């Protein structure tokens, strides 16, 4: 593949010795695809289940580049037409940004044989949903009572055990927006959240990067935090004392989607990869412990610990207008890092 940079090619070769395998294996590999993936549980889950499934089904090698959604969009834009990977995985805000900036190829759902098992409303001309995420408050039930809502985080016994993170992730952004709302703010006015956070900053237990929060909780450096159900279930499977509380004002829920990156020369393998991700077998594997994804394939039942019994219930959860949030989010990220990180 002549368009690959040396760094990207090296990454592909490192995945199981592709060069050696091509000599030793009689059947010729169908090729490869490179996909961005969220760091942490997503990266681990896809290496465990999606990489071998794609190889079995299509003889395609999958290389992954761990990046949060905002960083994926920025990296593709900086590449100026030489995309560093072929497939985005995005939450609603970065998805809108990527589409508006012309960084996504039009999506042909006919190339996804498993599309019939995904709700039609989760597929459009730009991509397809691959998982649902629900955000709320995680707490250690052996140390704290269940918080009733976002405002409780700013009072004892919670505030001195609170761990917070910023606006880099969707779960961080929607949590801070919901905090702002209970103190008089809105979807586009998070000033009340900053005001309340500054009041308690000397008392809270931890301020960390998004990927660090599960580890901080597991180590007992904080006992309450905002996060998604997937992180809660993953920590629970590791034996961590953790429970999930839906705030009395409701829990945000959103769809994570996949898209072809503009300029990809691996479109056929990108479609094979995405189809593998939404297939019933892979969705069921991802929905089981320790990864606990909320599946979009309707042939896969939702787990007993999930906060919804049907994908139709998404309409009852809190949603946000990312077309209004996106223009403000970069300043929020910078301000949080400047004023709250320590």
Please report which confidence band the pLDDT of residue 217 belongs to, taking 50, 70 and 90 as the band edges: very high
CA neighbor of 82 nearest in space, from 263, 205, 318, 250: 263
Q: Decide if pLDDT at 341 tops 70.
A: yes
Q: Decide if pLDDT at 23 tops 50.
A: no
pLDDT at position 342: 59
pTM of this structure: 0.81
CA neighbor of 139 nearest in space, from 37, 30, 236, 1: 236
Return d(Cα 306, Cα 225) in angstroms, integer: 18
> Which segments within the chain are labelled E, that is strand?
31-37, 60-66, 87-90, 123-124, 127-139, 162-164, 206-207, 224-228, 243-245, 253-260
Q: Decide if pLDDT at 14 tops 60.
A: no
Does the N-terminal peptide bond of residue 157 adopt cis geometry, omega within 30 degrees of 0? yes
In a 3-state reduction of DSSP, which class is residue 138? strand
pLDDT at position 109: 97
Mean pLDDT of 76-97: 93
């Amino acid at each position: 593949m002549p368009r690959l940079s040396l760094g990207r090619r090296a990454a592909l070769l490192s995945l199981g010795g592709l060069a050696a395998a091509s000599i030793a294996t009689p059947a010729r590999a169908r090729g490869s695809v490179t996909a961005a993936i969220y760091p942490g549980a997503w990266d681990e889950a896809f290496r465990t289940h999606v990489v071998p499934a794609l190889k079995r089904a299509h003889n395609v090698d999958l290389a992954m580049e761990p990046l949060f959604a905002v960083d994926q969009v920025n990296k593709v834009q900086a590449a100026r037409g030489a995309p560093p990977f072929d497939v985005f995985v995005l939450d609603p805000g970065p998805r809108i940004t990527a589409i508006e900036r012309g960084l996504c190829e039009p999506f042909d759902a006919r190339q996804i044989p498993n599309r019939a098992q995904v709700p039609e409303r989760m597929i459009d001309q730009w991509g397809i949903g691959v998982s649902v995420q629900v955000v709320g408050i995680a707490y250690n039930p052996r140390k704290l009572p269940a918080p009733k809502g976002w405002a409780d985080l700013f009072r004892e016994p919670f505030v001195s055990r609170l761990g917070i993170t910023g606006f880099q992730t969707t779960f961080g952004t929607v949590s801070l927006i919901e905090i702002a709302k209970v103190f008089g703010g809105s979807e586009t006015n998070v000033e009340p959240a900053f005001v309340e956070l500054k009041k308690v900053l000397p008392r809270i237990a931890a301020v960390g990067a998004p990927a660090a929060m599960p580890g901080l909780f597991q180590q007992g450096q904080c006992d309450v935090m905002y996060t998604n159900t997937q992180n809660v279930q993953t920590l629970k499977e590791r034996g961590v004392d953790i429970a999930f509380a839906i705030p009395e004002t409701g829990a945000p829920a959103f769809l994570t989607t996949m898209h072809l990156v503009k300029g990809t020369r691996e479109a056929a393998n990108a479609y094979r990869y995405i189809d593998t991700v939404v297939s019933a077998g892979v969705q069921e594997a991802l929905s089981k412990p320790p990864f606990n994804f909320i599946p979009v394939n309707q042939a896969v039942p939702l787990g007993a610990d999930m906060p919804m019994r049907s994908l139709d219930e998404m309409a009852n959860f809190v949603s946000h207008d990312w077309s209004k949030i996106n223009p403000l989010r970069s300043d929020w990220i910078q301000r949080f890092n400047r004023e709250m990180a320590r």
